[in-house]
Chain A
């Protein structure tokens, strides 16, 4: 075997921000976008005109840039996720700007599900409040590996170091409670620009980097999730003339190479990787998040919904093959989830039917305590649910793999996505 590869570096970073206009979220995003040249002249002009129509001359409301829907501009709130893109010499950034209000928790979960880093905004005047706890909880639940806590409006507390230190201590206690892995703190003024893109003269006591530099240099290579080889079969490519059969899909963890012994799950059939192919030719390795085509050495039965994993060895954890799944579920429908409910469940490329065997607990979003044996999960509730599925799935705990550890629930009558699950 050649040297095992366990890390992958990409030059793209996915960021999620949560908050409302009051936190200065839009101002912060506006500054990141404007200072990195991602807001262009005609967009700025459009925002300028709209700001003036709403609040008279002189005001520039940067939230109008991201609040792209008519209803959002009318109400002055963020309702749904907006995606923004900016680029520096070091990285491309995909920023999911999500709403902060509790009634839009499902939209926040949507935007944060793929994030590498979450920006949590704390108002320096108010410290850690209920919204901070909720956002941090959701970020930790979704397994976002890095948090950047921006203590904003430092200009309104006289740029005082002890205010910042107090909030850092308070937040660290919360992070420990939630088991958050990596937290960095930034004393900023989004309005004045301190420590966002440039440093701060007013806060000479702060020895760290500005936010943008941190985002540019944050290492994703050491993130613990997804080190074991996983490949959900997505599509079988056939070419009858050439007697060709390839298993197409997206690497969901680890690395696979030609010659690797693998197991097809849930059947458990073993085979070997004959080749890792792409349209551009054969590769000597594939890692997440590459989309590739695997050719297998034996003529085995594998199809969409199956998982190809490296054959279990001492240093590789095998997925669990099961019809019973316990997961934290974020419920996203108006009608509550109750025991006995029947739903469609999509896990990687597998679609099965599921029935709710039991509701173990629900999280009280203000105290973060888990309350046992709830009657139901209402809209935006998060709780632990036991599900039985119609056919075996090969799953991992969400904490180990965000792809093979997640699923969505779909209402079979309306076809709506009604829940998001993270396997325990």
Chain B
């Protein structure tokens, strides 16, 4: 895709404005922080981050490695995609494993049918940041996802415990970012802060980016719990009265299998997915994430504890 130049007035779509802002943010981090890392999960937001990194740094190499916090309960289609995309880019991927954190006794596996490894990721992430000495981590989080995120800066300062203090955020003016940290502290950086879910999908369509096929409608064996559809898998225990059935679904978000729900959909290509998102009446986290449903401030609490 090339930017249309139309004299005497240059016209720039809002996606290209957002793109320019994100590229600027990524270059600031590369220039000012010692040891950044980009978190790549294989999900749609981090797929966009990778394209933005190409736009920011090619023909040079990325000035940071990629890292995936692998819960061990991810969709196999996504892991396959992750490895293929990293190989195409010729960049380095670090895999931080929740299973290893469990084996080392750093965290304890939850039990029962509602067990999820989602919460355990925070420890694995913080351990990996410390072990590698990363002082900045790019994430694909967006402010439209959740109202605590709507309050978070683009450069989100974390102390040496990885903690976010929502009452003591650094003022963030113009495009002047303050990434100064002391040893052991870090910043989480969100280049997609001002993007919405629809912007992400429109950008994926415009850039013709490949995404894991579970984002498109496919037949899958699922069961219903709390009004959401979950894939049957070895990682999910069925409760009484839960009957698996097969139907056409797609995923709006890609996370741990134990807390990510599917939506009934027949949208099988990018255009119909964009149309579906434009017409939806429910937020992506509300429709597909069990982890945000616990309390009114579930996300704020998890972020304070070091979560993305």
Which A residues lie at the B interface, using CB under 8 A?
2-12, 40-43, 46, 50, 65-66, 68-71, 73, 79-85, 87, 91-92, 94, 106-107, 109-110, 113-114, 221, 234-235, 237-239, 242, 244, 248-250, 255, 278-281, 283-285, 287, 289-291, 304, 332, 344, 346, 348-349, 351, 402-403, 406-408, 410, 415-417, 420
Contact = CB atoms under 8 A, between A and B. Distances in A.
Nearest to B182: A415
A12 B17 contact: yes
B164 to A, nearest CB: 11
Contacts of B196: 85, 87
B10 A9 contact: yes
A279 B18 contact: no
Given A70-B300, A109-B173, A40 B178 contact: no
Which of A87, A235, A410 has the most chain B CB atoms inside 10 A of its CB? A235
A346 B194 contact: no
B292 to A, nearest CB: 10
A335 to B, nearest CB: 15
Contact of A11 (B14, B170, B176, B178): B14
Contact of B13 (A11, A344, A402): A11
Contact of B54 (A279, A346, A415): A279
B58 interface: yes
B20 A289 contact: yes
Nearest to A65: B147
A402 B3 CA distance: 25
A249 B20 CA distance: 10
6 contacts: A234-B27, A255-B10, A280-B2, A290-B16, A291-B23, A349-B31
Nearest to A46: B296
A284 B178 contact: no
Range of interface residues on chain B? 35 or more
Interface of B: 1-3, 5, 7-14, 16-21, 23-24, 27-28, 30-32, 54-60, 143-144, 146-151, 166-167, 169-176, 178, 180-182, 193-194, 196, 198-199, 280-283, 286-287, 296-297, 300
Contact of A66 (B13, B18, B150): B150
Nearest to B199: A92
Contacts of A280: 1-3, 55
B11 A420 contact: no
Contacts of B18: 12
Contact of B59 (A42, A87, A237): A237
